[in-house]
Chains A and B, each alone.
Chain A
């Protein structure tokens, strides 16, 4: 029993300007709930741009996008933000934690913003997430007091904070050494395989892409 979570139809993103640039061109795509998708392609091919569109961070200039059956292209910025907060989680390449906040506080931020859990429930959720990612000892540390791999795990915990439908990760191991990369890759894979999350990862690493359910290859902004 499959359920289409995300559907794109001729999705496109152009930048207007003196020299118009096409970032993403006529993408048709269907992603099922629980799928583990890898997006690959050469540098500058438009992988990130596609991810921003799928993750409702950016709005398409053409085509349509359905999330859980709801067409989103007419939604305003605040509505998209609310969807991101409740249903989507993001992990970026590196250094995307708030530097003045501890690991625990960074993870708690989206929960507090959403305001659905009371204070004790929110706190215990944060502790559970940190523990499950092996960050119990790091909870009180600031980002600069942790390694790159630990930072990236905090970012994953934060992405999971509001129990999203989809996790988007844009080259999450791009700045990590081999050992830390392996840990982060295992975590993302387990989120899909063991916990049933839908995970969409942009990666340059062929061996990581090989472990996915499906690899989408992008060249010049289009599916190759």
Chain B
């Protein structure tokens, strides 16, 4: 009996080939673009987050507190109203106190790699030109574990950095501007008046021009000396085996140590919400595309229902139920949806492949990239599901109308 209904549905569509093809092409295009656009957006988002996770610490423990510390007098009289003017931060002791103890605690957390960093400013003078530098003082043997800078080295290696206490890694842009090469020396001065000469043991190229010009990596001990801050670190950078546990880990560390601990999600909150907004916009647009396609389907099935009043009356007078009639027209929607998927998903895959061949340049980068495309089955499933829902949804109203046809109304009208 099912097959009878399916058969009627099939023949209704086959009897109207041109109309069916027009509405079908609508859903095919809708599905194809839905898939391609959503795969592209998701691909670029995943790629972006991937880079974010790779290139930034998963958690950064900073040498400050999220909320100002309570003054001792306020702790002493919790019920009292305490007012204090001009509380001066302890500039001298800025930095993470006893960072080695903190590190010991952090390193007990499973799946964690942590390393102290001292960040500071420096200057390099060359041919009468001053270049400001961001000094990344790190423990050379830890660099590989907590940073991806090693993977961007075009010359030299991290081992050279570990092997030479006066070694330094500089970016390709800085090397270009100062005409520096690997093996050459560079003298860096700090605001403390200290100066030290380093040997370039590696050159990195990340593609981000500003980064490649300003960042240098060198031994923690040397930066401590340059800045006159022995035994201090102002950050502990952490990489996690599971980057998505960063928020929990950050909260745990902050709860224990008191220092502000920032997960990568928190650090890039604005970017994450931009991505979410982008997703909303994208899904609105592609859903609108499918909605238009659904109107095409609504149109063809409504037309069939209008034209087939007499056939509906025949079926009902023969003994078909209202439900059977509804199933017939819903099946027509389902057919169009399935065909739309069957042709639209390959079309979308074709567009995705085409987009994947394109090379383009992100703003602020110096190299070309392939368009990242998400080829995951979820993309196909979502596009297919939307197409089917749109098609069957579009068939819903006309099918209800068809189910309600009273055979005697048609028979009377036909003059029988």
Contact = CB atoms under 8 A, between A and B. Distances in A.
Interface of A: 48-49, 52, 55, 57-58, 77-78, 81-86, 90, 92-101, 109-110, 112-115, 158, 170-171
Contact of A170 (B11, B310, B416): B416
B46 interface: no
B49 to A, nearest CB: 53
Interface stretch (B102-110, B276-284, B407-415): B407-415
Contact of B321 (A78, A83, A101, A109): A78
Interface in B395-413: 407-408, 411-412
Interface in B319-366: 319-324
B310 to A, nearest CB: 7
Contacts of B315: 98, 109
Given A93-B414, A113-B4, A86 B319 contact: yes
B411 A92 contact: yes
A137 B291 CA distance: 48
A85 B319 contact: yes
Given A96-B310, A98-B311, A171-B416, A82 B319 contact: yes
B79 interface: no
Contacts of B1: 112-115
A129 to B, nearest CB: 15
Contacts of A84: 317-319
Main secondary structure of the interface of B (DSSP, over half): helix
A170 B411 CA distance: 10
B314 interface: yes
Given A93-B414, A93-B415, A98-B8, A113 B314 contact: no
A58 B14 CA distance: 32
B412 A48 contact: yes
B318 to A, nearest CB: 5
Contacts of A113: 1, 4, 318-320, 324
Nearest to B316: A81
A110 B323 CA distance: 16
Interface string B9-27: 0011011000000000000
Nearest to A83: B319
B69 to A, nearest CB: 76
B407 A57 contact: yes
Question: Which 10 interchain pairs have the tightest Cβ spacing?
Answer: A85-B319, A100-B11, A93-B416, A84-B319, A92-B416, A112-B4, A58-B408, A115-B1, A81-B319, A52-B408
B322 A77 contact: yes
Contacts of B316: 81
Most central of B12, B310, B316, B415 by chain A CB within 10 Å: B415
Most central of A98, A99, A112, A115 by chain B CB within 10 Å: A98
A57 B319 contact: no
A139 B314 CA distance: 19
B3 interface: yes
Contacts of B318: 84-85, 90, 109-110, 113, 158
Nearest to B323: A78
Interface of B: 1, 3-4, 8, 11-12, 14-15, 310-311, 314-324, 407-408, 411-412, 414-416
Given A49-B412, A112-B1, 6 more contacts: A93-B414, A97-B314, A100-B12, A110-B319, A113-B4, A158-B318
Contacts of B414: 92-93, 95
A44 B174 CA distance: 100
Nearest to A90: B317
A15 to B, nearest CB: 10
A147 B344 CA distance: 44
9 contacts: A48-B416, A49-B412, A81-B320, A92-B411, A97-B314, A100-B15, A109-B4, A112-B1, A170-B411
B381 to A, nearest CB: 34
Most central of A52, A58, A100 by chain B CB within 10 Å: A100
B196 to A, nearest CB: 90
Nearest to A164: B319
B217 to A, nearest CB: 76
Most central of B310, B324, B416 by chain A CB within 10 Å: B416
Contacts of B319: 81-86, 110, 113-114
Contact of B314 (A93, A98, A115): A98
Nearest to A162: B319
A97 B313 CA distance: 11
Nearest to B406: A58
Nearest to A88: B319
Nearest to B314: A96
A94 B415 CA distance: 10
Contacts of B412: 48-49
Contacts of A112: 1, 3-4
A81 B321 contact: yes
Contacts of A81: 316, 319-321
A65 to B, nearest CB: 15
B7 to A, nearest CB: 8
A128 B8 CA distance: 24
Most central of B14, B15, B314, B414 by chain A CB within 10 Å: B314
B139 to A, nearest CB: 79
Nearest to A98: B311
